[in-house]
Chains A and B, each alone.
Chain A
Amino acid sequence: MLSIKQLSKSYQYADVRQNVLQGLDFEMDAESSIALLGESGSGKSTLLHLIAGLDRPDSGEIRFDGRRVDSEPESALAEMRREQLSLVFQQFHLISTLTITDNIRFQAALCQRFDPQYEGELIERLGLGDQLDKYPYQLSRGQQQRVAIARAMLHKPRLVLADEPTGNLDEASSLEVMGLFSDLVKRAGSGLLMVTHSQAMAAFMDRRVNLHNGRLAEIE
């Protein structure tokens, strides 16, 4: 499903050029889940952005279901994100001016794959039934993260890219949310690539890889 070859990316900070990714190779099968570990600043988030087509690599290629993410035009990448991907972040990225219902439905509405029955199921499993007419700022962070997960899963994407999805939550809540999240991803038949610092969260995944010095290494 996802194939990355010789991927390099660097950034210019004042007079210094910092190489973040250096000739990185990576393969990921459909419906699998992988935890992406690494130190702060190792380039985990950069890798996620490159896969999502939010940034362009300096060199190398990224293929998602056979299409070249690194060279596709912006409009094609937007369509890919809309139809095939979901992104879940530590900061939730909910639309603050829309109600919880609208937030949950948003991406499914964009790609016109809205399934009311599945929506009901998600709302029930994530325990959001009493919050639907509220606005994001009226919810706790744990509840907001559940909304973000519901939104990410409602259109059953091929791949979910998650960047520290429970980083804002306490340990108990993190474990509870992660359990729900990984279960929903499996039941939807989606793949999950998740950046995390936590070994406990990584334990929910099929594979674990470590990003160090711009390259990935499998953790046994």
Chain B
Amino acid sequence: MKPRFYWILKALLSHYWRHPWQTLFLSVGLVAGVGLWSAVQIINQHAEASYREAQSLLGAQASYWIRSRRDEGIEQALYIDLRRAGFRQLFPLVELEVSTPSGVSIRIIATDLLALPDDAYSDSDSPGDFSDTWVKFVQPPYRAWVPRVLADELGLKQGEQLRLRDGRLLPPALIQAREQQGRQVLIDIGAAMALSGSDRFSYLAVGPISPRDYQQLAATLPDHLELVENQQHIDLQELTESLHSHLTAMSLLSFAVGLFIVFNAVRFSLWYRRATLLDLRLMGCATHQLFSAILLETLVWSLLGTALGFALGILLAHALLPGLGASLQSLYSATVEAELGLSSMTLLQAWGITLLGLVWALGWPLYRQLQQSSLESGSSARQQQDEAIARRRLALAALVLALIAVLAYGRISSVTQGFMVLGLMLFAAAWMLPLLLAAGLRLAAWLVPRERLTMRWMVSDGWSQMPAFRSAMMALLLALTANLGVGTLVDSFRNAFVGWLEVRQSADIYLRAPRLDIQQLKASPSTASWLVDSHHRIGITTRWRGRPTLVRGIEPDAPDSLALPLSRWQGDTPAAALQAWREQAGKVLVNEQVHFLAGIEPGDRVSLETDNGLQEYEVAGVFYDYGNPYFQFYLPDRVVASNWQHHYSRGIALWLNHDNSAAMQQAEAVLKELGAQPGDWISQAQVRKLSVGIFDRTFAITAAMNALTMIVAAIALLASLLAILQERLPQFAQWRALGLRQGEQLLLVATPLLIFCAIAWLLSIPLGALLSWVLIYKLNIISFGWSMPLLWEFMPALQLAGVVIVICGLTLLLVSFQWRRKMPQALAQLGETV
């Protein structure tokens, strides 16, 4: 480094040593922004890697599956026959969903290790040497390979047997970090069959197979089995893409809020160094040299911010991953590995985005600073004038952004486009804010009576504070809007979801026991005292317009069929549409996903592939189907039974006699008597608890991000207040010398601050409502294919106002401590003589 450049750099960087608070805030802004962004980035990339990994795990790496058309599982004898016939690519799988006494849902996957094709293992997993571990795995009492993250969650220790809700025990636990396993428990197929009490496999997986063998296999299979292509990984990517896009958008929003702190800090650091920059220019430093020095400084900050932010991102990702992983598994059966894998690309991206953010934050203020040509350019009048010009320019830019957002709104066709429009909208509001703050000050000045001189002074001092608060208020506005908008989305969803569960899950018990059918149950003489109603459900899984689809056959007179909540219907009323569906042949009900993603309206005709050829049905209504990633068609059970011979039972719903307090116990006793196993049924309360649990876990990450974003905004406020203190301390000292008390001085800062915060809060209310409206009625529909009623409540906004007041109070308290510490020195420097 040339000595000249060294001295320029030394002069510029010495600022950070002398002003540690600014150094801290710049670091915090960068680290918080990068940390939040990279946490989600790490999670998303990790999830994608997991989906790829999942393809090499057991059944998921199969090219095809053999499964029962009636969901009855596959007989062992058939599997042995097929292996003997030369189909060595086949291996059996058993999948079980069990739960612990505390309600934690666990997915068990089991296979015959010896039957796995060679390429189903990674090197480290290979049983080729058949070590002691593998021998124990396949021989009684077997072993349950439990991923470490799940063991930690359950408090399970090495060798312990996990007790399930129905009292059964899993084999002794072998806890190890097997990345491919995600949260699944892996056991031997013999242990799984003993556990389930069934002698059938869930399905057979087919490893790599030649077209000739495929054709032979298809021809060999009996009618009740089907050979289907494994499209799990494609579906996983499709199904989870929207969720990951939402997370990315939220992380970008957090990054933007962090960037406002950076912008603030950078602006202050330049502002405080304007004298230094001027001195350097007076002493002959060329603009390009100063520019290069600040560029180098930016580079150093970006590296520092990336390194620390990325480290924070890893910590956050570790904290958020278990909840998100559990949700992905519950919602989409997508397995996300427990151990984080980090890619250098993510790190590079983090650095790139940090550098871009810093350049964005630094570019304009630096240009302005270096353009100042005369020594008077920093005068107060000039600053006020510049500030007014900047406000007008920002407002103009905001109008342009808003116009682009409005024009682009109608053309949104993807989640990414949707978030870009939302971004434009939010930035338009943020850039409009300074003009509104100025208008607010004018209004406040107009409202204060002329004789209240002190109050008028406090309001008018806002003009001096506005430049320092501008960026912080923008950050606060974004944070408040995000909190209100996303909070409203989640509250609306929760409210709709719980209400929907009330109607849709109105039966008291849901029974899925292959050995038990509804006729047996109805024939049982001991049901009279506790059973009010019972209805069976049948169905088939298929693909319609390239998407996984369920065709369900439900009894039209079942209580939940009669009360099915419709969002759109044919005819005058939902009840009339449901009646038409029950009574007229050729009517179908479709879920919102079919309406929004495939563009089907009530009255349209849809064609479904049946055993009797292509059948057309007229859509009688569209029903709400929250959170379901699949298309669903509801037909009367008789229609499904007659058109799809290979339909399978999807269980029986039982409505109990609520006048009989012992109905539940009696029902369970009868079910056991009839041969159902514990775990074959689940009560309504358990279904709701599980569903709401999944819901809350899914949105826990949202709440965490909202809280972090508010913290970042609070830091921006504190940074601004401290900057004001530092900048105006001599002025405050003069006022103190004139007799102003500390409380009055604090009020002088607090009054404009509260006015600004109130304006930001007021603006965030319609903006938050707009954000939630776009999220629910545009992005949710594009992403997931369903909508819900928007539930707007004023209470969250009031709570946020409370949070803002607390933040203001705390920051003012911190500032008053600083004041108390620094004021004596500032007073001592007043009227200093030589």
Contacts and interface: CB of A to CB of B under 8 A. Distances in A.
Interface of A: 45, 49, 52, 54-55, 74-75, 78-83, 85, 87, 89, 93-98, 102, 106-107, 109-112, 135, 140-142, 169-170, 173
A97 B14 contact: yes
Contact of B10 (A74, A87, A96, A102): A102
Contact of B834 (A80, A83, A141): A141
Given A49-B374, A55-B373, A82-B285, A142 B834 contact: yes
Nearest to B287: A74
Given A54-B375, A93-B275, A97-B17, A87 B4 contact: no
Given A54-B375, A78-B287, A111-B4, 12 more contacts: A49-B374, A54-B374, A55-B373, A81-B282, A97-B15, A97-B18, A97-B276, A102-B10, A107-B284, A110-B284, A112-B4, A141-B834
18 contacts: A54-B281, A54-B373, A74-B286, A75-B286, A79-B284, A81-B281, A81-B282, A81-B284, A87-B283, A93-B279, A98-B10, A98-B14, A102-B10, A102-B11, A109-B7, A110-B4, A110-B285, A169-B834
A94 B3 contact: no
Interface string B174-202: 00000000000000000000000000000
Contacts of A78: 281, 284-287, 289
B283 A110 contact: yes
B275 A96 contact: yes
Contacts of B285: 78, 82, 110
B821 interface: no
A87 B11 contact: no
Contact of B284 (A82, A95, A170): A82
B281 A170 contact: no
A9 to B, nearest CB: 11
Contacts, number: 91
Nearest to B825: A137
B451 interface: no
B278 interface: yes
B283 A81 contact: yes
Given A54-B282, A78-B287, A82-B284, A95 B373 contact: no
Contacts of B834: 140-142, 169-170, 173
A96 B276 contact: yes
Interface residues of B, number: 30
Contacts of A170: 833-834
Contacts of A173: 834
B84 interface: no
B283 A79 contact: no
Contacts of A110: 4, 7-8, 283-285
Interface in B410-464: none
A53 to B, nearest CB: 10
Contacts of B11: 95, 97-98, 102, 106
Contact of A112 (B3, B17, B287, B375): B3
A170 B375 CA distance: 24
Contacts of B279: 93-95
Contacts of A96: 18, 275-276
B97 interface: no
Nearest to A88: B282
A97 B12 CA distance: 9
B375 A45 contact: yes
Contacts of A52: 282
B288 interface: yes
A89 B375 CA distance: 11
Nearest to B12: A97
Nearest to A56: B373
Contacts of B275: 93, 95-96
A82 B287 CA distance: 13
B832 interface: yes
A140 B373 CA distance: 29
B98 to A, nearest CB: 65
Contact of B14 (A87, A95, A111, A112): A95
A65 to B, nearest CB: 15
Nearest to B278: A93
Contacts of A106: 7, 11, 283
A81 B17 CA distance: 28
